[in-house]
Amino acid sequence: MKIKQSYITIISILIFLLLITGCTGDEKYPINKLVSVSYNSVNDTSYVEITPSFTGFNNPTAILAGNDQLLYIADKNNNRLVQMNEAGIILETREILQPIAIAQDLRLDLLVSGEIYYPASGDTIGAIFRIHLYEAAHHLAQAQIETVWIEPSKPNRRFTGIGVLLENQYFVACDGPDNSSFIDPDSKVIWFDKNDNKITTLSDLTTRAGSGITDILRPTGIAMFPNSNDFVLTQSSVNGTMPYCALWMVYTKLPDEGWNPKFNPTKPEEKYRDFIKPNRFVEPSAPVIGGSYADIFIIDSKLDSLVKFDRRGNFKSESFGAAALKLLDRPPLKNPKGVAFKVKTLYIADSGNDMIRRFRLSTDK
């Protein structure tokens, strides 16, 4: 018993030193090297995996915990959208070409981004679909599917994230290789009204390779805060050129409607805020806001890790990567792409392992 306690004490000190040294400077933050020993002590809090995982997928890239109490998975390489319950039982599926993002509005319609074959070019282009799920009594296979947005003039543009605002308006994060146009770059966020009409391109974000807190280049996902129009946008580091890969934007209506960054790195009191630590991420692929405290979960597909922040932007020690899972003799995450949170359970679309994995805090019963 003394040996075990000494081992835990030594590892705990190492973790403390790692976290302290990770709070200064602009070095890379190796979250995948974090070691958690909380599984050895009931007094610590950590995420424990629930087994078995949900299998039968082929490169699942997004997962949504719906407002209708069901789960939806973008099973990309199987070209389908999957509807399942919390027990992992597949209820229905729907064919969609290369789905990569899912959202659900308060009318319980699904908004899905994927691809569509475009006869004029003989190739596929990005598309946004609306699935009228409520009208079909939640039968996904029978629901009317409507193509609400395509851009034939931008065949390489894809829609990487969808976030629903209040009053059923929504944002769509876009990505693509051509950002030479100042007026219509591929990397941007488009604002739609509840009737799927484009309102505008969100001008509060700037498309460019830069170190500004609102610079974007290759957005990967977007998540809205509940009961507000605040949002978190994730983006690739683009080989280290983008130090801020998670942007937290806060909505203000007066004196002028718009979005401003939650934290300002130029302010001394906020410079080292955990959420805006430069180079913390490499390839964050999906954010989600979950839990009664509106915690922020961000998956990094390059670091094979899950990072958690509280609503004040503080790093939470429950974050985990390969080292923590290894302690439990569980396989590490492999190129994870999606994350969802529902009733104390964290769901991760573990793309490289072709499965949906579930985690719950050790303190949750």
Half-sphere exposure (CA, 13 Å, Cβ side) for 234?
A: 30
Q: CA 298, CA 225: separation in Å to the nearest integer?
A: 14
* Per-residue pLDDT tens digits for 288-298: 999 777 999 99
Cα 124 to the center of its chain, rounded Å: 25
| Dihedrals phi, psi of 129, to nearest 5 degrees | -115, 145
Q: CA 151, CA 128: separation in Å to the nearest integer?
A: 10
DSSP code per residue over 164-200: E-GGG-EEEEEE-S----SSS-SSEEEEE-TTS-EEE
Q: Tokens 């994230």 correspond to what residue?
A: 161
Helices (H) and strands (E) in the chain, counts: 2, 25
| CB-based contact 318:334 (threshold 8 Å) | no
Percent of the chain topping pLDDT 70: 88
The full length of the chain comes to 365
DSSP code per residue over 34-80: ----GGG-TTS--EEEEEEEE---SSEEEEEE-TTS-EEEEEGGGTE
Domains, the chain, in order of start with CATH, read 2-361 (2.120.10.30)
Q: How confident is the model at residue 327 (pLDDT cuts 50, 70, 90)?
A: confident
* Per-residue pLDDT tens digits for 20-56: 333 333 444 444 443 332 322 333 678 999 999 999 9
- Mean model confidence pLDDT for the chain: 88
| CB-based contact 163:220 (threshold 8 Å) | no
Mean pLDDT of 184-193: 98
- Which tokens in the block code for residue 135? 């009208």
| CB-based contact 340:63 (threshold 8 Å) | yes
| CB-based contact 319:308 (threshold 8 Å) | yes
Any idea which of 80-89, 120-129, 271-280 has the lowest mean pLDDT? 271-280
Cα 139 to the center of its chain, rounded Å: 26
Q: How confident is the model at residue 365 (pLDDT cuts 50, 70, 90)?
A: low
Terminal CA-to-CA distance of the chain, rounded, Å? 27
CB under 8 A, 24+ apart: contacts of 66-71: 66/104, 66/108, 66/110, 67/104, 67/106, 67/108, 68/104, 68/108, 68/133, 68/138, 70/138, 71/340, 71/342, 71/347, 71/356
The answer, yes or no, to whether residue 4 has pLDDT greater than 70, is no
* Per-residue pLDDT tens digits for 49-97: 999 999 999 999 999 999 999 999 999 999 999 999 999 999 999 999 9
Mean pLDDT of 278-290: 95
The answer, yes or no, to whether residue 175 has pLDDT greater than 50, is yes
Q: What pTM was estimated for this model as a whole?
A: 0.87
The answer, yes or no, to whether residue 266 has pLDDT greater than 90, is no
| Dihedrals phi, psi of 123, to nearest 5 degrees | -140, -175
Q: CA 260, CA 249: separation in Å to the nearest integer?
A: 5
Under DSSP, is residue 16 helix (H, G, I), strand (E, B) or coil? helix
* Per-residue pLDDT tens digits for 205-246: 999 999 999 999 999 999 999 999 999 999 999 989 999 999
Instruction: Give the burial string for 42-70 (b: 16+ CB within 10 Å, else e).
Output: eebebbbbeeebbeebebbbbbbbbeeeb
Q: How confident is the model at residue 324 (pLDDT cuts 50, 70, 90)?
A: confident
Name the residue among 350, 362, 364, 360 with its Cα closest to residue 57.
350
Name the residue among 234, 244, 228 with its Cα closest to residue 288.
234
Residue 121: how many other CB atoms lie within 10 Å? 10
Q: CA 320, CA 291: separation in Å to the nearest integer?
A: 18
